[in-house]
Chain A
């Protein structure tokens, strides 16, 4: 990078001297400050850098210098929507595009050969001679996505949205009530209507359900993303939706990895002591003839526990065990 910067400076001296531009030394200082800053710089950023270098210049002068640098192809100017003008280094022969986060304002640079080639092709197809292009993608950056909770309570969901039930943040009583209505984690639901005094009408499959505000608040949902599901199905893996469940919802013959053991005091402690802790593989051997308790295999031994107790264990990466392994 430094060698390119040295090269840029030499060119700058030659060009500016040739053109006989005033206050050459001061402008060189602006260039130096600009080169010190990577990525996208506003005038105020530049002023700050200059201050740090103990150089005092007027803002108008810096702005006119940057315009000159832009004119001579040392800097590229980017004007994003609703934002201060940004300058970036323009190294000849190197081109890139931008992704702008509408939330935090971060600008990401990227370059994709396929897009570049595709642009030329599109232009050619229209009989258009392309000189240059500018491409900006607006969206939410990965960091902001991570910070944003993907789960929202059901009563905040909008009409027509397709959602997946992810968590029931309810007490035992409420959980029972919710599950007795036939709603469980992993279900795909659609909001039929919402907002009539907090009441939410949802559709699961062919059923309509009316949930009170109190109940809707406790059901955490995530936007349904058909592409994600599609992608995971393409990998030959079970669909993403099926991947995480409570142990009590697993079928016999299924296997998974314990992700979380919730529950209270003795129960939780006992489960952990018997070897059901995070990361342990559990295999559902069978259900008792009266559907309760469950027999599971953990750490190479068989044990039984009640369905109610199994509902405190969250299991992920669920799949059917390959019979050949046995």
Chain B
């Protein structure tokens, strides 16, 4: 029987924690250079000798104050789940700041070991750390690793297990001692806690410190357990706080922070030798260009431009391949299967629906490869540095730039990425604004519509749409900041991590994760959506047509048969072609009438009065409604509604032009698609990340804005005589 052990990995952002996690578990997991890239709690399993190890990757934080979800998540896990050991990963080249978090984790009172990671970087910087001394000072084992070269991983596990065994045999963690006056306060509250008999999760000392630090979460917990003793304990803690306030003319938590850095300075002095003259700072040299006063922003714009070029130009090739593969597949089914409802579902429903979406897989893979590259090199933080001034005008944090940028790829991961923001206000604001970033799923709609109606100027129109989205986002941000989120913004204090050469493996993992997410979404939501739309557009089966098309086809055929029989050999060819054309026209007319009579047609007709001031006809109305399932679906619905099935983009473009849609209507549709309700998956993500209320608010707000803007565009266009 193997023994189960849980190891929790903790550390600052950018300390290489995720790399070590990947080394340990081989799990597919994102490694980034952007502070707080590990948004979710990730787990991995590992067998080592007689042990089954569960490795938990805690979010990267700088502290354990309750100011951000990441910090609360990390500390709650250590306190409530009681991992067997906390593996504290320390950036050896940045010992002082790393120790600030490490000391707070030690305070939680769980067994722990120190891992000095990036030992090679520290070496290059001329920093030598005396591990034996550090171990002796803090009373815990210290190991060295080089994460990106997978050095020291086994030693890490062995040391961790040994330390767990030592604790099993009665070892106790040694508390860090602060200055006399602070210790007196801690001892007092500790005594109060013991006396009250309230047993809280986590060590008594830690709880005492947190109560003294005026930690709202812990105070609430205490309140919950016993209101009467809470009142007493907190009152006594307040007294201690006041005493410290009088002595140091500062809050307890500030004094303690100073104290912690004091303790750390002592440790660093004892254990670190700085070999001067060996310092090379490549990052600084790179930044001489990348965040330069003159070159910084042009270079940034160039990178973004290059990213879009790569995504959409390079992506065009595999897109073509996928498109032909899909049409080949649907043709194969068309020919080999006998006509039936099932075949119709398969070809016109499923293959057509999925085909029109899978086309964007290459775009998404390339886009996320680029984003991963920015993150892993450390450029993402510089982007925030460069753009904060701009984001700030929208009432946002420079960090919001990343989710917003990701929003151009897909709103779902973008909204998930808002977890890097510390303040809840900033987070919700960014979440509400992100859907205005035109995601890649909206692009096919633009491509089809702009391609059909603005041929040469399609690029400009699409660029304009993206720009409009950004503008609306900024205006909404300012509006929300003024009305919904009054008050202080979260501080923009962010590490600019050193530039690192990204690991190809990690880039691939990152890219593939996003691709998988997209495919999963397609397999689930979009498949169901496609089937529903096919169903809605194919039922009821019996539609009363204005004329008997079967009869008409029959009569046309006989008519041409007569003509052909009496014609010369030369004329037969031309007549054949004429026949085919007439037949397609009749089919087309029948199909349109059939869909108009279908459920979806009826729905579109019901909504027509709402959309007609926007110059949007019933087919487009229906397509927009179905777009809630996923924006990609707008294109496939249009494909079905205009009776071109899965024949691909060009046929749809022709059908659209034929349908009598004007370029102004097309523009109005595009504006509506840009701004209206994000897809179902995005709404669900908002619900999960913020609340049902915010999801509902977003739904209503975006639709309202979309309607108003489309109305404005269409009516202004009409006024100026465009059509």
Chain B residues near A292 (CB, 8 Å)?
Answer: 388-389, 392
Q: A273 near B62 (CB under 8 angstroms)? A: yes
Q: A288 near B296 (CB under 8 angstroms)? A: yes
Stretch at the interface among B77-85, B433-441, B492-500, B564-572: B492-500
Interface positions of B from 371 to 416, Cβ below 8 Å from A: 381, 384-386, 388-390, 392, 398
Chain B residues near A291 (CB, 8 Å)?
Answer: 389
Interface membership of A144, Cβ < 8 A: no
Q: Which of A268, A273, A292 has the most CB of B within 10 A?
A: A273
Number of A-B contacts (CB under 8 A): 125
Listed by A's residue number, 18 A-B pairs whose Cβ atoms lie within 8 Å are A266-B67, A266-B423, A270-B422, A272-B257, A275-B261, A288-B291, A288-B386, A289-B292, A289-B297, A290-B389, A290-B390, A292-B392, A293-B492, A302-B495, A309-B492, A309-B493, A326-B279, A326-B281
Minimal beta-carbon separation of B377 from chain A (angstroms): 15
Chain A residues near B284 (CB, 8 Å)?
Answer: 285, 302
Chain A residues near B297 (CB, 8 Å)?
Answer: 289-290
B interface vs A, CB < 8 Å? 62-63, 65, 67, 93-94, 96-97, 100, 125, 253-254, 257-258, 261, 279, 281, 283-284, 287, 291-294, 296-297, 381, 384-386, 388-390, 392, 398, 422-423, 488, 490-498
Beyond A273-B257, A288-B291, A302-B283, list 18 extra A-B contacts (CB 8 Å). A266-B423, A267-B488, A269-B254, A270-B422, A270-B491, A270-B493, A271-B493, A273-B62, A274-B493, A274-B495, A275-B100, A277-B257, A286-B287, A289-B293, A289-B294, A295-B496, A301-B94, A304-B384
Selected from A264, A301, A305, the residue in CB contact (under 8 A) with B493 is A305
Minimal beta-carbon separation of A311 from chain B (angstroms): 12
The dominant DSSP class at the A interface is mixed
Q: Which of A295, A299, A305, A309 has the most CB of B within 10 A?
A: A299
Q: Which residue on chain B has the smallest CB distance to residue A291? A: B389
Q: A272 near B388 (CB under 8 angstroms)? A: no
Q: Which of A286, A293, A301 has the most CB of B within 10 A?
A: A301
Q: Which residue on chain A has the smallest CB distance to residue B388? A: A293
Q: B258 near A277 (CB under 8 angstroms)? A: yes
Q: A300 near B94 (CB under 8 angstroms)? A: yes
CA distance A277 to B262 in the complex (A): 10
Selected from A268, A273, A295, A303, the residue in CB contact (under 8 A) with B63 is A273
Chain A residues near B381 (CB, 8 Å)?
Answer: 304
Minimal beta-carbon separation of B29 from chain A (angstroms): 25
Interface membership of A278, Cβ < 8 A: yes
Interface positions of A from 217 to 274, Cβ below 8 Å from B: 264, 266-274
From known contacts A273-B257, A289-B292, A289-B386, infer whether A300 and B96 are also in contact, taking CB-CB under 8 Å.
Answer: yes
Digit string of A289-326 for contact with B (CB within 8 Å is 1, else 0)? Answer: 11111010001111111100100000000000000001
Minimal beta-carbon separation of B178 from chain A (angstroms): 14
Chain A residues near B291 (CB, 8 Å)?
Answer: 286, 288-289, 295
Chain B residues near A277 (CB, 8 Å)?
Answer: 257-258, 261
Q: A301 near B67 (CB under 8 angstroms)? A: no
CA distance A254 to B63 in the complex (A): 28
Q: A306 near B388 (CB under 8 angstroms)? A: yes
Selected from A266, A272, A274, A275, the residue in CB contact (under 8 A) with B254 is A272
CA distance A299 to B490 in the complex (A): 23
CA distance A70 to B384 in the complex (A): 83
Q: A273 near B100 (CB under 8 angstroms)? A: yes
Q: A301 near B293 (CB under 8 angstroms)? A: no
Q: A269 near B65 (CB under 8 angstroms)? A: yes
Q: A268 near B254 (CB under 8 angstroms)? A: yes
From known contacts A269-B65, A273-B257, infer whether A301 and B495 are also in contact, taking CB-CB under 8 Å.
Answer: yes
